A and B are shown apart, each in its own frame.
Chain A
Amino acid sequence: MTKDPTNNDPTNNDPANNDPTSNDPTNIYANGQAAREEGFTSSREIHLEASFLDNLARRRVQAKVFALAIQLATCMALLALGILVWRIGSQGLPYLNWNFITSFPSRKAERAGILSALVGSATIIFMTTIFAVILGVSTAVYLEEIASKNKFAKFLELNIANLSGVPSLVYGMLGLAVFVRIFDFGRSLLAASCTLALMVLPIIIIASREALRTVPPSTRLAAAALGATPWQTTYHHTLPAAMPGVLTGIILAISRALGEAAPLIIVGGVTYIAFLPTRLTDSFTTLPIQIFNWAGRPQEEFQSLAAAAIIVLVGLVLVTNGIAIFIRTKLENKNRW
C-alpha cells in the first residue's frame, strides 16, 4: 500500500477490485478468528504481547439473554398490575350495584353497603384538601418567593424532605395525641382531616416549590419593575403561572389521602357506622377502613364486598385525577402566551 494519496483516490480504488479476496464478507464475520488470521492481521506486524480470544458469539448470546431478562422483569411488574385488576374486577363487579352504594354496612353480606364509608371519605378528603392546600402552598410560596435563602430556609427544606419519608402510621400517632387528646376533637372527622392534612403536606409543598421554581425570573422582575410588592407579584403573576404544577401536587396528595387507612385507624376510625355524619365531631369511617375490615374476614362474600369497594375507591381516585388533569390542561392552555 503506497502512501501516495493519488493512488488512494477512491474512484480508482473500489475496495473489491483493489483487494480481491476469496473470502466473502459474511464468512469473515461469522468466523472472526479465521478472518483475522487470513484477512487482515497478516497485513500488520503490530501485535501486543498476547492476543485476543474471539468471544463475540458468546457475548452476543449474553447480550440477548440480558435484554430478554430485563424485558421479562418489566413484564413481571405489568403482570402484577394486570392480575390485580383482573382479580378485583372478577370478584367485585358482580357485587357492585346501586344498593351497595346506598346501604349502610351490615353483618349480612348481601345487605351490606358503603354509604357511610363513602360519605366519610368524601368529607374527610374535602377538609383535608382545604387544610393541606392552604398550608402547603403558603409554605412553598414563603420558601420560594419570600424567605431569604438562609440557614432557616435550609433547615426547613431538610425538615420537609424528612417529613415526606415519615411512615403514615406515625402521623396517625401524632393525630391521636394532638388532635384527639390535646385539642380534644375526639375520634372525629375533624381529627382525621387534620391528621391526613399534615401527612400530605410535604407532597404539596415539594410539588409547589418545584412548580414555582420553573416560573422564569423575568416574570418576577417585570412585576417588580412595575412597583409590585413580593406578595403582589406572587399572587398576580408567579402563582398563576405555576398553577399547573401546583395542581399536580394537589392531585397526588388527594389520591394519597383517599387510599390511606393506617393513620385513620390509629386516630379512631370505626368500621361499623350506620348513620351519616352531621357535625365535624361525629365519628367516622372511610372506604379504605371498610375495605380493610371486609378483606380481613374469612368469609368469601365479604372479600367480594371488599373487591367491590376497591372498585369504587380506585374509581374515585381516577375521577379525581381526571378532573384535576382537565383543569390543569385548561390552565396550561390559558397560560400559554
Chain B
Amino acid sequence: MPIFPLKLTPPIATNSLKAAARFKTRLSETAVIRFLQTCAWISILTTIAIVVILGFESLVFFKGVPLLDFLTGRDWSPLIEPRSFGVLPLIAGTLVVSLGACAIAVPLGLASAIYLAEYASPKTRSLIKPTIELLAGIPSVVFGYFAITTVTPVLQFIFPTTEIFNAASASIVLGFMVLPMITSLCDDAIRATPRSLREGGFALAATKAEVSLDILLPASMSAIMASVILGFSRAIGETMAVALAAGSTPNLSLNPLTSMQTMTGYIVQVAMGDVPHGTIEYQSIFAVAGTLFVMTLSLNLLSQVVVRRFARQWE
C-alpha cells in the first residue's frame, strides 16, 4: 500500500519542520541572551578595571614614595626638584573648595526645595523647576569660564587682595553647579511626605513656615542628609571649573582668596603637559586619582547607608 507512507510522512515532516523552527528560535534566543549578559558584565568589568588600574599604578607610586609620607606630607611639589609628594595641600584645597560650595548649595538648595514643594503654585513650579535643572545641564567648563570672567572680578572688587586664581570663585560656581541636584532631591523628599503630616501640623495652629521647618524638614531629614553628602561628593570630583578658577598652586592654607590646587586640578595640570608613561609624575596622578576615588566612593556609600537606615516608609 503505497498510500500509507505517503499519508504517514506529511505529519512527520511538519513535526520536524516545527522542531527545526523551534530549534532555530532557541539558538538565536540563547545567542541574544548571551550578548545581553556580556553587555551587563561590561559595567562590572568597568568597576574592576577602575579599582585594579588605580590600585596597580598607585602601588608602583608608593614603592617610590612611602604611603605615610604621601598621606601626611605637608608639601606637594612633584614637578620641581627637590620633589615632594605630600598630598595634604591638595586635600586641603579640595576640601576648602568643596565645603565652600556646600556652604552655598545647601542653604540655597534646601530653601528653593521648600519653596518649590510647599509654596509655589503648580504653574510657577512648572516654570522654575526646569529652569533650575537647566543649571545642572551646563557643562563644567562653562562654569569655569564664568568664574574667571565674572566671579573673580567681583570678588577682587569687594576684597582687593583676591588673587586672579582663587578658591572662593571656584567654590561659588561649584555651589551653583551642585545646587540643582540638592534642590531636586530635597524637593522629591519633601513632596514624598504624606499630606496627613501637614494637616496634623496645621490643625495644631501652626503657620506654614512652622509646618515646613518643624514637621516636614525633620520628616525628610534622611533624604536631605543623603543629598548633601552626594552634593559634597560631586563637588570633590568636579574638575574643569575648579581647574580653571582655583589655580595651580598647591597651598596648605584656609584662605579662600588665594590660589589653591585641588586633587582634580593637579591631575588635569599633569595631563595637559606631556608626561611620559612610567615616570613618577605619571604614577602620582594615579595615586591622587585613587585617593579621590576612595573619598567619593565612601561618600556615595555613606549616602546610600543614610537613606537606607533612616528610610521612612510613608504608606
Contact = CB atoms under 8 A, between A and B. Distances in A.
A87 B146 contact: yes
A107 interface: no
A156 to B, nearest CB: 6
A295 B112 contact: no
Interface residues on A, range: 35 or more
Contacts of A231: 29, 32-33
Nearest to A62: B209
Contact of A91 (B114, B141, B142, B149): B149
Contacts of B146: 84, 87-88
A91 B243 CA distance: 22
Contact of B37 (A74, A142, A173, A178): A142
Contacts of B128: 74, 78
A165 B236 CA distance: 11
A261 B131 contact: no
Interface stretch (A10-18, A108-116, A197-205): A197-205
Interface stretch (B3-11, B249-257, B284-292): B284-292
A169 B242 CA distance: 12
A255 B135 CA distance: 13
Contacts of A327: none
A329 interface: no
Contacts of B180: 77
B259 interface: no
Interface string A48-69: 0000000000011011001101
A292 interface: yes
A81 B134 contact: yes
A75 B149 CA distance: 22
Contacts of B297: 162, 165-166
Interface stretch (A216-224, A241-249, A274-282, A310-318): A310-318
A67 B285 CA distance: 47
A290 B40 CA distance: 34
A106 B46 CA distance: 38
B220 to A, nearest CB: 15
A265 B268 contact: yes
Chain A residues touching B, majority SS: helix
B111 A70 contact: yes
Contacts of B277: 181
Interface residues on B, range: 35 or more
A9 B26 CA distance: 80
A170 interface: yes
Given A163-B47, A292-B240, A170 B293 contact: yes
Contacts of A62: 207, 209
A170 B290 CA distance: 8
Contacts of A135: 39, 42-43
B40 A71 contact: no
A313 B50 CA distance: 30
A198 B53 CA distance: 15
A188 to B, nearest CB: 16
Interface in A220-242: 229-232
B301 interface: yes
Given A74-B115, A166-B50, A261 B108 contact: no
Interface string B26-49: 100100110111011011101101
A155 B59 CA distance: 27
A168 B210 contact: no
A166 B209 contact: no
A67 B286 CA distance: 48
A336 B161 CA distance: 62
A73 interface: yes
B194 to A, nearest CB: 22
A73 B209 contact: no
Contact of A261 (B54, B140, B267, B296): B140
A322 B289 CA distance: 36
Interface in A283-337: 288, 291-292, 295-296, 303, 306-307, 310, 313-314, 317
16 contacts: A59-B210, A62-B209, A74-B115, A155-B44, A162-B300, A165-B297, A169-B289, A170-B50, A172-B271, A231-B29, A259-B140, A261-B240, A262-B239, A262-B264, A292-B141, A295-B145
